[in-house]
Each structure stands twice: as C-alpha cells, then as structure tokens.
Amino acid sequence: MTKRVPYKFVTKDALTYLTFNKWEQDEKMIHGFSTRYGGVSQGDLATLNLGFNRGDEEENVVENYRRISKALGVPFKSLVLSKQVHETQIARVNKEDCGNGIQTPNKWESMDGLYTNEKGVTLVTHYADCVPLFFYAPDYGMIGMAHAGWRGTVEEIGKKMVEIWFNKENIPLEAIQVVIGPSIGPCHFEVDADVADVFNAKFPNAAFIRYEHEKNKYRIDLWECNKQSLLGAGILEENITITGICTCCYDQIFFSHRKTGGKRGTLGAFMCLK
C-alpha cells in the first residue's frame, strides 16, 4: 500500500510545481510551490530560478516568472513579490501593488509576509530551505503567505499572521487553514548551541529540539515549531497540514541553500484568489 501524501506534483509544458491536496479542487483559489524544473536558468540556478539576487540574468528570471505564471494560470502582471529579510513585517496588499519587485522596484525594505482578499492579486514569496507558510480562509476569501526561516519561526511570523487576520480582519480562528510547505526538515536542520538556545527559550522542553551527543549539535524540527506556534495562536489542529518534504533531501527537485552551500536558485510560492 502506498502512503498517502498531502501534495501532488503537477507538470505543464515541462514545468513542474507542487500543489496541496486539500486546496487542489478549490475553484476560488490558485496556489503552487515551484520546483527546479521548467525554467531557462543555467548552472547552479538551473533551471527555474525565481530570485533576482542570485547572480542570474534578469531576463532569465523574468522569463521564469512568465513560465510559472502561465503554468499556474495567473496573469504575469498580477504578481506581487515580497521583500524577505528574516523579519516579521506583514502587509495587506491589493491591485495597486501588482508588479511590485518585478515590473517596478520593490517598494519594501522588509516584508516577509503578504495577504490579500482581492481577486487577481498573486502573492509571491521565496524559499531555499526556509519554511513557507500558506494561509487560507475559504469562507472569508482571504489568502496569505509568510516566510519563516529559523528567525521567523522563533519570532512566530505565522502566529502574527493569524493575529492580524483575527484582530484586524475579523476572521474566526477556526476558519483559517494553514499549510506548512517544503523546507529543510528535521533530518537536515542541524544547528549549534547558540541557535538551539534561542529555540529552547521559545519552545521549552520541546521534543522536536534534540541534542545529538555524538556530534555536539542540535536537530530542530521547524515544521513542528511552526505547528506549535500556530496551535498556540488558536488554529485548529485539523486545519494544519505539514507537507513533510525536506528540500535538502530532495535537492534534485528543489533548491537547497544548505545542501549547496548557497550556490542555488530560489523557489517561489504562489497564491491568488480568482
């Protein structure tokens, strides 16, 4: 018997992206997480690099965005790119923000989270081992994404998104669904005591922060950290999905910062209401 996984790979015109089963049939929302396949970039950036800051030709990156937009079925002009600096700023965006960071210069200095309730606005966030958090309240027509690296995880950017939706947007906690996307997994996220101390202070006595005596290192499960943080914010457990894909294990499919020592392209996460 094959194990049921909460995601599916979709290939269109040689471009492959990931979708999440629970939203795949949704007629009001488009989502996807890119892989390395389907772009025009070369070498370490091959082929679907979505980062303008990786030393790639700008025209390659733009072409890659055109291709993934087409595959997903969202207008290229609808893209709104985040500005990720491992902080916890979150912006509500709308039609006027479309093109930010790709057709016009990025207007933000710090914006690790985006959300919107406007149709035809495509949120875009970026990854290469960090944790993508996807938020959706189907009954309230709200989508959001947050970039949780280890700093964003400790600073609980996911919880912050939930608090904004609850307090400012009046969305009930039980209406919010979250997917924790592909990122470096507990199998590969190994850190020294200085980083582990920060996690231990935030998540005391947590089983998902484990000391490895033989290596004098700690292993941390960022998926579980984010899940605990979301549960703490009031999200129902049945509304949280962990994709369970380690980008470092599957570096042939995804860009992994740790696996390549930083010689890598950038993956993109996309959400759009239709």
Q: Which is nearer to Zn ion, 244 or 262 (CB)?
A: 244
Distances (CA, A) of 152 to 133, 157, 197, 260: 11, 5, 15, 22
DSSP readout, 166-203?
HHTS---GGG-EEEE-SB--TTT-EE-HHHHHHHHHHS
Residues engaged in binding Zn ion (CB under 5 A): 185, 187-188, 246, 248-249
In the complex, which residue's CB is closest to Zn ion?
246
Pick the closer one to Zn ion by CB: 125 or 247: 247
Instruction: Report the sign of the C-alpha dihedral through residues 267, 245, 150, 252, in that order.
Output: negative
CB of 227 vs Zn ion, minimal distance in Å = 17
Q: Which is nearer to Zn ion, 182 or 268 (CB)?
A: 182
Nearer to Zn ion, 38 or 185 (CB): 185
Judged by CB, which is closer to Zn ion: 11, or 252?
252
Instruction: Go through 148-185 and write b for each residue having 16 or more CB atoms within 10 A of its CB, e for each that does not.
Output: bbbbbbbbbbbbbbbebbbeeeebebebbbbbbbbbbb
How far apart are CB 254 and Zn ion at their closest, in Å? 11
Provide, rounded to whole angstroms, the least separation between the CB of residue 223 and Zn ion: 11
Q: Whole-angstrom Cα distance, residue 229 to residue 222?
A: 10
Residue 15 beta carbon to Zn ion: minimum distance, rounded to whole angstroms: 24
Q: How far is the CB of 101 from Zn ion (least distance, A)?
A: 30
